[in-house]
Structure 1
Amino acid sequence: MTTGFTEAMVQARRTGRRVALPDAVPQDRAAAFAEHAAAFAALGLEVAGFKVGASGRTGEPTAAPLPAGTIHRDRARIAVTEAHPRWLEAELAFVMGAPLAAREAPYEAAEVLAAVEGLAAAIEIVDPRLADWPKVPPLAALADFQANGAAVVSAVGRSADGLKVEDLTVDFRMGDLVKTVPGTRYPGQDAIRLLVWLADNLRLWGPAVAARGLQPGDVVISGSWTSFDRAVAGTTATNTIAGIGSVAVEIVGG
């Protein structure tokens, strides 16, 4: 069902212009996830992965599908202006290597990891459709695809077997900004839990996504390690995860 919120999301994606918060904001998580499916259907978008994140080991995850054509390999170039800023987040990504079907029975972590090709470094390009982001209601932010605009993902650098995020370090740089974040400070704390939650909850996006499941090549970015930083024109942002990979985003003024 198309709502006023859906229409606003579709308009923003088609025009590249941010929109005011619609009057009709989703009232629960189910409605917010339904907005994702409705916007994808209206625009003819295909799923190429997901973003998923949470606060801590017990926080309720939030997630959104990533459209095909918005996932870049190794390096990307973006334009920013005062009127249309973008933000960047340094993340760890899972790359799927085998299909994983939606099902009623909960997955064991080992089953999900067996379908993962490996781990990659990523930068999420935060490009919300809502003009007042991040000062919008949480359910509106969720329905706006958690502000996802695109993602840059490295080649797979290592297997996900034996993953312990506390053993990893994210090194994010942009101009004079340096953020070195050990895995003990990763806000999600348990990236595997988030991936398993996603596999168990694919039906949230309706029958088409449930029927598709997760497919080889799908990218799942697992939440920011660095909060979000406004992209600065004239710099190149990088995220390096030792032993896994590195990605870069060149930022130009619009």
Structure 2
Amino acid sequence: MANAQELAARLLQARREHTLLDPGSLTACMPANADEAYVVQQLVLDQMGGCAGYKVGAGSPTAAPQCASLPATRVFGATTGIRRGDYARIGLELEIAFSFADDVDHRLSEQADEVIDAIDTMSVVAEIVDSRYEGWPNVDPLLQLADAQNNGALVIGDTLPYDRAFDFSAPRVSFSCGNHEIFQGVARHPAGDPRRLIAWLVARTLETGHSIPARTVLTTGSYTPFYIATEPGVVRGVIEGFGKIEFEIR
């Protein structure tokens, strides 16, 4: 626990001072496994207003997912916009997030189909990808997991009632920052149908004896290539047949 507390303290300091940590200086507090990395996540969250969301992702339709809790102070609506000075870098990814109308606890079955049927809303979101480490992305995966899996913020756009008939695996999307077109066309989600990640997250949460409060935002990985914004500008994303997001980087 002492090692987890030390790493959490270093990550909090980096967040507050907008500085970067040298991974080589963290050998003594390196998480030994994913469980220890999740403990670090929780220690950081406790100092940042608690949890308002989760990010969950997987590199392929069969890969094991990983998740990260998102600090309440870093989940907000698109009208808030982004201040460049609040982040070491501003990486952009276009995603779909989900939420439940009721608390997710032991009353909800762990069966994937029943979990997916219980989804209440879906939102167009943009993840701001940031890291508290120098040399990222060439950083030990456990250090990245401890650092909220490189989350900087989650920006929420249009939110609609859940449509189970929507093509979540391959929607047509467009995504741009200022005058730069990041992506336009049919997007393939790396995890296949991202709703499987929601089912996994619920099962993991219930197995550990925890719950997910109603309206917690659950985002599921990017449909678009990763792009780092280096200048002020307006970010625009559209998921056809669903909705859009638009916010300013200033």
Normalised TM-score (structure 1): 0.86
| Residue in structure 1 matched with residue 78 of structure 2 by the alignment | 74
Letter in 2 for 1:16: H
Whole-angstrom distance in 2 between the partners of 1:66 and 1:28: 20
Gaps of 5+ in 2: none
Question: Relative to structure 1, is the Cα distance of residues 102 and 65 closer, same or farther in structure 2, using a 3 angstrom cutoff?
Answer: farther
- Selected match of 1:40 from 41, 45, 51: 45
| Residue in structure 2 matched with residue 113 of structure 1 by the alignment | 116
Please state if 1:11 is matched with 2:13.
Answer: yes
Please say if residues 99 and 215 of structure 1, whose CA atoms lie closer than 8 Å, have aligned partners that are also in contact.
yes
Runs of 4+ aligned residues of structure 1 deviating over 4 Å after TM superposition are none
| Residue in structure 2 matched with residue 150 of structure 1 by the alignment | 153
Structure 1 residue 181, shift from structure 2 partner: 4.5
Question: Relative to structure 1, is the Cα distance of residues 94 and 11 closer, same or farther in structure 2, using a 3 angstrom cutoff?
Answer: same
SS at match of 1:172: strand
| Residue in structure 1 matched with residue 192 of structure 2 by the alignment | 189
| Residue in structure 1 matched with residue 36 of structure 2 by the alignment | 31
| Residue in structure 1 matched with residue 62 of structure 2 by the alignment | 58
Structure 1 residue 231, shift from structure 2 partner: 1.2
CA displacement 1:120-179 (0-9 Å, x = unmatched): 111001121122221101111111111101111123224142343235222111122240
| Residue in structure 2 matched with residue 131 of structure 1 by the alignment | 134
| Residue in structure 1 matched with residue 224 of structure 2 by the alignment | 226
Normalised TM-score (structure 2): 0.87
- Selected match of 1:176 from 170, 173, 180: 180
Gaps of 5+ in 1: none
SS at match of 1:164: coil
Structure 1 residue 203, shift from structure 2 partner: 6.2
Letter in 2 for 1:85: R
CA displacement 1:63-88 (0-9 Å, x = unmatched): 1011112112233422337x932211
Please say if residues 119 and 244 of structure 1, whose CA atoms lie closer than 8 Å, have aligned partners that are also in contact.
no
Whole-angstrom distance in 2 between the partners of 1:137 and 1:157: 37
Please say if residues 75 and 247 of structure 1, whose CA atoms lie closer than 8 Å, have aligned partners that are also in contact.
no
- Selected match of 2:215 from 214, 217, 227: 217
Question: Relative to structure 1, is the Cα distance of residues 80 and 73 closer, same or farther in structure 2, using a 3 angstrom cutoff?
Answer: closer
Please say if residues 92 and 228 of structure 2, whose CA atoms lie closer than 8 Å, have aligned partners that are also in contact.
yes
Letter in 2 for 1:246: K
Structure 1 residue 233, shift from structure 2 partner: 1.3
| Cα root mean square deviation, aligned | 2.3
Aligned residues between the structures: 243
CA displacement 1:70-116 (0-9 Å, x = unmatched): 112233422337x932211111111222211158x971223222432
Whole-angstrom distance in 2 between the partners of 1:85 and 1:37: 23
Whole-angstrom distance in 2 between the partners of 1:31 and 1:182: 38
